[in-house]
Chain A
Amino acid sequence: MRYVLAVLVEDKPGVLVRVAGLFARRGYNIESLAVGKTVEPMVSRMTIEVEADEKILEQIIKQLYKLVNVLKVSNLTEEPSVDRELVLIKVSADVSNRAEIQQIVETFRAKIVDVALNSIVVEVTGNQEKLEAIIMLLSQYTILEVVRTGKIAILRGSKAIK
């Protein structure tokens, strides 16, 4: 099963290496990883998506807690939460198909953020299904490049992770 973990860490050099190393050493594959600052100074939040069974997940959480720089680990999978990812897609496009692509972009409430003679860049935000769907539709044209932020997630309601 795929799990989403919110990990609060001290914002210190080397923390990312420790977390990534833990996954690598034990052979757990990180599906996606997003890191950014929080409102609290010197504390960053990682959203880690991982494919695992329940027993492995328990080990991952315990091993994360063993890292001195890890402050808190929350499993967002079972709780109601909102998750989003942002993707930028560079598609080969010219006058002949730009309008068609524009239509797809509009249907997905995406945005065109760059237009050049032979290409455009599309920005989409959403959950994973939406992103997969638009990438699939755009792949009928030539996709030159895709870049994704990795998933971020937050609990619904007033409960906050800190």
Chain B
Amino acid sequence: MKMSGIQMVVESLRNELVDTIFCSPGGTPGDMVSYLSESDIRLVMYCHEQGASHAADGYARSTGKPGVVFCTSGLGLTSLVTGIATAYADSVPMVVFAGRGMSASSVYDAEVDMDISSITLPSTKHSIVVRSILDLPRSIREAFHLATTGRSGPVVLDLAFNAQTDTGIYRYPKNIDIRGYNPVYNSHQGQVSKAAKVLAKAKKPLIYAGGGIIYSGAHEELRQLAEKFNIPVTTTLMGLSGFPTEHPLALGMLGMHGTYWANMAVNEADVIIAAGARFDDRVTGRKSDFATKATIIHIDIDPAEIGKNICVDIPIVGDVKQVLLQLLQKTGPQDTQSWLSQINAWRSSAPMRYFQDPEGQICPQFVIEQIYEQTKGTALITTEVGQHQMWTAQFYKFNKYRSFMSSGGLGTMGYGFPASLGVQLGCPDDVVFCIAGDGSFQMNIRELATAVRYNLPVKVAVINNQHLGLVRQWQEMFFQSRYSSVVLQSAPDFVKLAEAYGALGLRAETPSEVIPVLQKALSAPGPVVIDFRVKAEENVLPMVPPNCSISEMVMTVE
């Protein structure tokens, strides 16, 4: 069938079962967007390209489907860079369509066009410049294939003007073979057997589960393996919601702001299975002291992650779901009871706690616990970046798969709120909460207009400590409280601001107001912003100071 490039794009999106496109339209060429608006694919318009890209990211993390971003003019493309880099850092599948204008046929000197593939080169899995309509269908298929297989990630499709407007015969390839791209799904059997042998002899085994569990959909296999052999599980920030926080074998998060008992367990374990995790320095602390007593088995689909940050003993390259299934067939550790009691002793010696004085100011941790209580743990949570993000990781209980969306690798303030709108679009029946800092929320606050436009009932809980809290904490702890550029006294009145946009604004200033305000927010049909006025100088604890071993946790600040 003969059609134009733009029609081909729409047709290909149908073939890829895309139901939602995140965009911020530009002028060139206008008919791309108008075509889409006539199709059955939902086009969601954002105020700013960055918002569109984070929303696509949130959609992808919550549904497992690739997020699709559209940007029809080069002018807006630079605004996408942060969103693409955020997705890349956390391996989020995303396909970005960037249409070039007429004036920039192939040389980039027109003012509205940008060489987006070059600008995003270091933070994309791949990018494809489509110069001719003959290459268009295949390139789109390649982009979706690359974005969603192996270690997933963002792919940019840069469409020359001709490729959009010329006409040609449309045939969409079903299968695709990219010669230089062969992700390894099936692992080496010898390595799996070797791992099983070591595991069978373990007295103090530990599973360290990361984001790979979620991308691979291996949460069930992980639970089965842990339960079958009574192996405790700690997760990274990105692994949260890959293993139920309330499971008796769950140790919570490890690393810089992880639990004391998870970090001690890493330190004392004799066998560690790193499952889809990449030994980030926020996890390992001082590398020379990390898990020195353990034989480390590392399961990862990306061979470049093996041995990158930490030397491991038994590498297994492959899909973690498959590998866990294979390990389930083998023998495991015999008896881990005394190990589990040891961990419980650590747990009771230094539990996670905070003190909420009912007459005093609101503790941020209390708000987060109450969000869990009031939604009975069914909510999908996005966060911004900062203290509130860490408290969410520590105090919310992620029992539901894919219920936590946060920027871990890049740590992008401004991610959480637009992402929550993407989550709500992907999961219309779920309650979606964005837990935000007063600093981060302001970075993409303009997307309140989008929330109102599409009536997306997202609840934004602003943990308002009137500071860039995490930076303030570092200045307090490591720079003798010499505060600089961390006070946010000129923040707007979030309640009035919400109302100005046409959303509901609520406020809680005392602990007793927290629950009623949350209930009111939950019963409201549309978007809500809640301004929680919390204690200004609360710290995230415990904490592993920079360049320390993860066993050297600071428990209090005095």
Contacts and interface: CB of A to CB of B under 8 A. Distances in A.
B122 A69 contact: no
A55 B118 CA distance: 28
A17 interface: yes
Given A18-B121, A21-B122, A59-B308, A10 B179 contact: yes
A62 B304 contact: yes
Nearest to B106: A13
A25 B88 CA distance: 15
A14 B129 contact: yes
B304 A63 contact: yes
Given A13-B129, A59-B308, A62-B303, A68 B181 contact: yes
A63 B125 CA distance: 12
B272 interface: no
Interface string A1-43: 0000000011001100110010001000000000000000000
A134 interface: no
Contacts of B117: 14
Interface string B165-186: 0000000000000111100000
B446 to A, nearest CB: 32
Contact of A21 (B121, B180, B181, B304): B121
Contacts of A9: 180
Contacts of B181: 68
Contacts of B302: 66
A132 interface: no
Contacts of B126: 68
A146 to B, nearest CB: 31
Interface string B119-153: 00110011001000000000000000010000000
Contacts of A94: none
Contacts of A21: 121-122
A21 B124 CA distance: 12
A115 interface: no
B309 to A, nearest CB: 10
A25 B126 CA distance: 16
B461 to A, nearest CB: 37
A65 interface: yes
B428 interface: no
Interface residues of B, number: 17
B308 A68 contact: no
Nearest to B311: A55
Interface in A46-74: 55, 58-59, 62-63, 65-71
Nearest to B142: A68
B546 to A, nearest CB: 21
Chain A interface residue number, banded = 20 to 34
Nearest to B122: A25
B121 A17 contact: yes
Interface in B281-332: 302-304, 307-308
Contact of A71 (B118, B122, B146, B179): B179
Interface string B72-97: 00000000000000000000000000
B118 A17 contact: yes
B90 to A, nearest CB: 17
Nearest to A61: B304
Contacts of A55: 307
A66 B129 CA distance: 19
Contacts of A10: 179-180
Given A14-B129, A67-B180, A69-B180, A59 B304 contact: yes
Contact of B180 (A13, A17, A59, A68): A68
Contacts of A66: 302, 304
B273 to A, nearest CB: 22
Interface string A122-147: 00000000000000000000000000
Contact of B307 (A13, A14, A58, A69): A58
A25 B121 CA distance: 11
A67 B153 CA distance: 13
Nearest to B305: A62
A18 B129 CA distance: 13
A142 B48 CA distance: 60
A48 B468 CA distance: 46
Contact of A68 (B129, B146, B304): B146
A26 to B, nearest CB: 10
Nearest to B303: A62
B180 A70 contact: yes
A59 B308 CA distance: 7
B551 to A, nearest CB: 26
B469 to A, nearest CB: 32
Contacts of B303: 62, 65
Interface in B7-58: none
A52 to B, nearest CB: 14
A10 B178 CA distance: 11
Contacts of B118: 14, 17
Contacts of B180: 9-10, 67-71
A132 to B, nearest CB: 35
Nearest to A21: B121
A46 to B, nearest CB: 13
A14 B127 CA distance: 10
A44 to B, nearest CB: 12
A21 to B, nearest CB: 6
B215 to A, nearest CB: 16
Contacts of B179: 10, 71
Interface of A: 9-10, 13-14, 17-18, 21, 25, 55, 58-59, 62-63, 65-71
21 contacts: A9-B180, A13-B129, A14-B117, A14-B118, A14-B129, A17-B118, A17-B121, A21-B122, A25-B122, A59-B304, A62-B303, A66-B304, A67-B180, A68-B125, A68-B126, A68-B178, A68-B180, A68-B181, A69-B180, A70-B180, A71-B179
Name the 8 nearest CB pairs between A and B, nearest first. Answer: A62-B304, A68-B126, A71-B180, A68-B181, A68-B180, A62-B303, A70-B180, A25-B122
Given A14-B118, A21-B122, A62-B304, 6 more contacts: A13-B129, A21-B121, A59-B308, A62-B303, A66-B302, A66-B304
